[in-house]
Structure 1
Amino acid sequence: MRAIQLNRFGDPDVLEMVEVPKPEPQAGEVLVRVRAAGVNFFEVLMRADRYAVTPQLPMILGVEAAGIVEALGHGVDASLLGTRVAAPLFASSRPLGGYADYVTIDASLAVPLPDALSFEASTALMVQGLTALHLSRQSPPAGKSVLVAAAAGGVGSLLVQLAKRAGASNVIAAAGSKAKLDLALSLGADVAVDSSKTDWPERIRVATGGAGVDIVYDIVGGPLTAVALEALAPRGELAFAALGRYALGAPEMEAMIGRNQSLRGFALLPLLSPEVLRDGLSGLFNLAANGELKVTNGGRFPLDQASQAHRLLDERGATGKVVLIP
């Protein structure tokens, strides 16, 4: 079968199409013919060796896939054969390999897809959808003014909608272009500010009557975090979900202490038991299938154009979910 393999770190051109053996489902597993594989920004960081942990090479990237169950391992319910499923590889014992024609996954982790939900849309609701969902649960926005960084991206575009559904009083979207700001507003944001402008924290304060926001959902990290803190109200909360891109130093932390502000870290995987994973994905899939949650298509690329998909994310040119298709 075909797969996209990373043999060395570097720019998007280091991603290579290779032929590898088709996997065989072991006991308790299903073999899924991949119809869509999600592409995530942290995979871009992995490819360039800029992630929090240096992965071992060679490797086949891809932590989420969706497709049709084509074969069953011993002991798997025969009714799963031929069904449409999501394969959240990131939660499995083999968390990579989605950039390929086939993947195997424990049958207990394969989540059925509603007929009305496309394979492509389902990939947006795995890592990114669960991140947005659990961020909104861990740092509840009900009755609060919140800032969503990178609000037109995969996580941000979903978080804007989920924060509104959860009762946020004011959802402020930050993004770096007019098109991205327009998208965030179309998804329900109350205010949109251009984070490429130097005065964007002040614009947020104006939009909140000088008070600042109660919660900053930071899914970007790096230099943006310190700037976003300028828009955080006293006693406010910074919900940090940018693993590997933490850049706050002692001065910023001391300033937060002086303003009675709190920092709350966020890591998705420790929150996901198999039951929590399945319940969360099923809920997100149903919301999207019923039109209550909009998934934004950030770009569809054939598998052999994985490097172009990575380049788009490298250049911050995507709005919504980028996927690879057969």
Structure 2
Amino acid sequence: MKAVQYSRFGGSEVLEVVDIPVPVAEAGQILVKVEAAGVNFFEVLMRADRYAVTPSLPMFPGVEAAGTVEAVGEGVDPRLLGSRVAAPLFVSDRPFGGYAEYVAIDANLAAPLPDALSFEEATALMVQGLTALHLLRQSPPANRAVLVPAAAGGVGSLLVQLARGRGAGRIVALAGGRTKLDLALSSGADAAIDSSRDEWPAQIREANGGAGVDIIYDTVGDAMTAAALPALAPGGELVFAALGRFALSVSDIKAMIAQNQALRGFALLPLLLPAALKAGLAELFDLAANGRLRVAIGGRFPLDRAGEAHRLLEERRSAGKVVLVP
């Protein structure tokens, strides 16, 4: 089968398509014919060795896939054959390898897909959908003013919609460029600020009627965190969900303490015990299948153009979920 790998760190050009054996569905596993594989920004960072964790080489990227069950291993119900499933590889013993024509995963981790949900939409609701869902569960937005950076991205576009559905008082979105601003507004944001312009930090309070926001859901990190911090209200909460990109200084944190502000960390994987994983995916899949959650697809690429998919994310040109279609 065809799969994408890289044997050295670097730019998107290090991604290459190779032929490797089709995985075998071992006891308790299913073999999934991949119809769509999700591409995530942390995979771009990992490829360049700029992520919090350095992977072993050669690396076969891809932590989420969706497709049809092609074979079942010993002890697995044969009635699963031909069924449509999501394969959240990121919670499995082999958490990579989704950029491929086939993947194997424990049958008890795979989640059934409603007929009304496309394979591409399903990929957007795994890492990114679960991130948005659990961010809001940890820090509920009801009756509060919230700031959503990267609001046209895979996580941000879902976060805006879910926050609106959970009663956010006011949603201020950050996004770069007119197209992304329009997507954020159509997703339910009350105001959208162009983060590609230098004056965006000063515009957040203006967009919130002159007051600071109660919650910042920071999935971007780096310099953006400190730039947005002055817009956080006294007693507000900064939820940091950008693993490996924390750049606040001691003086920034001291300023937060003086304002009675809270800094809360967020890591998705520790929250995803099997029951919580299945319940979260079922909730997201149902919302999307019934039209209450819209998934924006920002780009579709075959496996041999995985480098283009990475560049789209790396250059911040995507709006919505980027997928590979083997």
Q: Scaled by the length of structure 1, what TM-score is found?
A: 0.99
Partners of 2:151 and 2:107 in 1: how far apart? Answer: 34
* Structure 1 stretches lacking a partner, 5+ long: none
Partners of 1:3 and 1:198 in 2: how far apart? Answer: 41
Q: Give SS of 2:150's match.
A: coil
1:83 matched residue in structure 2: 83
1:213 matched residue in structure 2: 213
2:304 is the alignment partner of 1:313: no
2:289 is the alignment partner of 1:289: yes
2:256 is the alignment partner of 1:228: no
Partners of 1:28 and 1:213 in 2: how far apart? Answer: 48
Partners of 2:66 and 2:244 in 1: how far apart? Answer: 27
2:37 matched residue in structure 1: 37
Alignment of 1:13-52 (within 5 A): 13-52=13-52
Equivalent residue letter for 1:17:
V
Q: Give SS of 2:103's match.
A: strand
Q: Give SS of 2:108's match.
A: helix
Once the two structures are superposed, what CA deviation does each residue of 1:156-200 show, in whole Å capped at 9, x if it has no partner? 000000000000010110011111011100111001011122222
2:239–2:263 CA contact under 8 A, matched in 1: yes
Partners of 1:7 and 1:201 in 2: how far apart? Answer: 40
Identity of aligned residues (%): 69
Equivalent residue letter for 1:162:
L
2:152 matched residue in structure 1: 152
Q: Following TM superposition, by how much is the alpha carbon of 1:209 offset from its aligned partner in structure 2, in angstroms?
A: 2.4
Q: Following TM superposition, by how much is the alpha carbon of 1:207 offset from its aligned partner in structure 2, in angstroms?
A: 2.1
Q: Give SS of 2:184's match.
A: helix
Q: Following TM superposition, by how much is the alpha carbon of 1:35 offset from its aligned partner in structure 2, in angstroms?
A: 0.3
Q: 197-206 vs 99-108, which deviates more? A: 197-206
Alignment of 1:55-74 (within 5 A): 55-74=55-74
Once the two structures are superposed, what CA deviation does each residue of 1:75-125 show, in whole Å capped at 9, x if it has no partner? 001111110000000011110000001000000011000000000000000
Partners of 1:213 and 1:202 in 2: how far apart? Answer: 12
In the comparison of the two structures, how many residue pairs are matched? Answer: 326
Equivalent residue letter for 2:191:
V
Alignment of 1:95-110 (within 5 A): 95-110=95-110
Equivalent residue letter for 1:85:
V
2:172–2:208 CA contact under 8 A, matched in 1: no
Q: Which runs of 4+ in 1 moved over 6 A?
A: none
Q: Following TM superposition, by how much is the alpha carbon of 1:210 offset from its aligned partner in structure 2, in angstroms?
A: 2.1
2:163 matched residue in structure 1: 163
Q: 197-206 vs 147-156, which deviates more? A: 197-206
Q: Give SS of 1:60's match.
A: coil
2:194 matched residue in structure 1: 194
Q: Give SS of 1:59's match.
A: coil
Q: Following TM superposition, by how much is the alpha carbon of 1:59 offset from its aligned partner in structure 2, in angstroms?
A: 1.2
Q: Give SS of 1:230's match.
A: helix
Once the two structures are superposed, what CA deviation does each residue of 1:9-63 show, in whole Å capped at 9, x if it has no partner? 0000100110111100111000000000000000000000000011110010000
2:9–2:47 CA contact under 8 A, matched in 1: yes
